[in-house]
Structure formats: structure tokens, C-alpha cells
């Protein structure tokens, strides 16, 4: 059976994360849900953003926790997210902005094998507290909800 990871990062993003950790210490990611820079991942000093008890941690990239709201998870649960970095300033408070860079989230739908593997794994922390209806994979694949 295939294994699946909910969030990963490109080598370029990992290098920037390492640089930011050296400068700022412990970090956190929070997947924005539409404010400021759209849906960009924000990289912040750990604790700078207070997480809700129902926010979900999808995993870690470069040793940094990657969090999002339950409503975001309902939409992204069928996709693997990849943190990447591009040149240019984003319109956010994310730490990499000071380097003239911007983190972006790329995504792809899980394969059938990966989805089956995830079905055997407990949901990410706080996912059991979802107060929203999950979005079916078929709706995500077709672009509708």
C-alpha cells in the first residue's frame, strides 16, 4: 500500500525555512484562507499567531508545523500540499517577505492508493472537531463544491 504525506516542501523552500529558523528561532506555518495574499502559507515566529483549539496540524515541513482552519482542511483534505518559494514580495506578514521572497502552496490530488493509505490513518489533530461538511473528492476534482 502507498504511503501519503499531507504536506511537503521543495528543496528551495526548505533552504529558506532553514535560513529563517537560524534568524528567528522556532517557526510555524499557517495556511491563509483568503485575507491579504489570498491563500498563501504564512511563516511566522512560533506563537506569534494564536491557534484555535480546532485548527489542524497537517504535519511538518523542515521541522516546522503546518496548520490550517477546519474549513480549509475540508477543502484541501484530498490534496497533498507542497510549500514552494518564489521571488517577489507577497502582501502578508510572512517572514520570508523580508528576503524578497514569497512562500506559495502548490497542490495535487492524492492518488487512489494514497487516499486509501490515508483512510487507514487517524485524521490530523483537531480534524475530529470539524464543524463543516467535508467536500467530496469528486467535487474538488471537478472544480466545484
CA distance 124 to 26: 21
Q: State yes or no: pLDDT of 57 exceeds 80.
A: yes
Count: domains in the chain: 1
Q: Is residue 30 assigned to a domain?
A: yes
* Rounded Cα–Cα distance for residues 111 and 131 (Å): 26
Q: Please state the pTM of the whole predicted model.
A: 0.81
Q: What's the grid cell of residue 43?
A: 511563516
Residue 67 inside a domain? The answer is: yes
The CATH number linked to 30 is 2.60.300.12
pLDDT at residue 11, as a whole number: 98
**Measuring CA to CA, how many Å separate 54 from each of 31, 37, 112, 133?**
14, 23, 28, 15
Q: Considering the domain boundaries, does residue 86 fall inside one?
A: yes
Give the residue-averaged pLDDT of 29-45: 79
**Structural domain includes residue 140:** no
User: 42: buried, middle or exposed (CB in 10 Å: 19+, 13-18, 0-12)?
Assistant: buried
Q: Rounded to whole angstroms, how far apart are CA atoms 56 and 127?
A: 6
**Reduced to 3 states, what is the DSSP secondary structure of residue 68?**
strand
144 falls within a domain: no
Tell me, yes or no, whether 135 lies in a domain.
no
By percentage, how much of the chain surpasses pLDDT 70?
Answer: 79
Mean pLDDT (whole number) for 83-92: 85
Q: Which residues contact 71 (CB under 8 A, 6 or more apart)?
A: 33, 132
Range of the domain at 50: 7-121
Strands (E), 40-109: 41-45, 56-61, 64-68, 79-87, 101-109
Q: Which residues of 55-94 are buried (b: 16+ CB within 10 A; e: fewer)?
A: bbbbeebbebbbbbbbebbbbbbbbbbbbbbeeeebebeb
- Residue 89 vs residue 134, higher pLDDT: 89
Q: What confidence category does residue 130 fall into, taking pLDDT thresholds of 50, 70 and 90? A: very low
pLDDT confidence of residue 36 = 54
Residue 63 forms part of a structural domain: yes
Among 37-41, 90-94, 108-112, the minimum mean pLDDT is found in 37-41
The overall average pLDDT reported for the chain is 84
Q: Is residue 73 part of a domain?
A: yes
pLDDT in tens, 90-104: 767 899 998 999 999
Residue 100, pLDDT score: 92
- At 88 the pLDDT is 87
Compare 106 and 35 and report the one with higher pLDDT: 106
Amino acid at each position: 500500500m502507498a504511503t501519503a504525506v499531507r504536506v511537503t516542501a521543495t528543496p528551495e523552500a526548505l533552504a529558506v525555512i532553514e535560513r529563517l529558523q537560524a534568524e528567528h528561532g522556532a517557526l510555524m506555518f499557517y495556511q491563509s484562507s483568503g485575507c491579504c495574499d489570498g491563500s498563501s502559507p504564512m511563516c511566522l515566529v512560533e506563537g506569534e499567531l494564536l491557534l484555535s483549539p480546532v485548527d489542524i496540524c497537517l504535519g511538518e515541513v523542515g521541522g516546522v508545523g503546518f496548520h490550517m482552519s477546519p474549513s480549509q482542511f475540508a477543502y484541501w483534505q484530498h490534496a497533498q500540499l507542497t510549500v514552494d518559494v518564489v521571488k517577489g514580495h507577497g502582501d502578508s506578514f510572512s517572514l520570508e517577505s523580508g528576503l524578497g521572497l514569497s512562500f506559495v502552496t502548490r497542490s495535487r490530488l492524492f492518488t487512489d492508493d494514497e487516499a486509501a493509505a490515508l483512510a487507514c490513518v487517524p485524521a490530523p489533530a483537531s480534524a475530529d472537531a470539524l464543524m463543516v461538511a467535508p467536500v467530496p473528492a469528486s467535487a474538488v476534482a471537478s472544480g466545484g463544491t
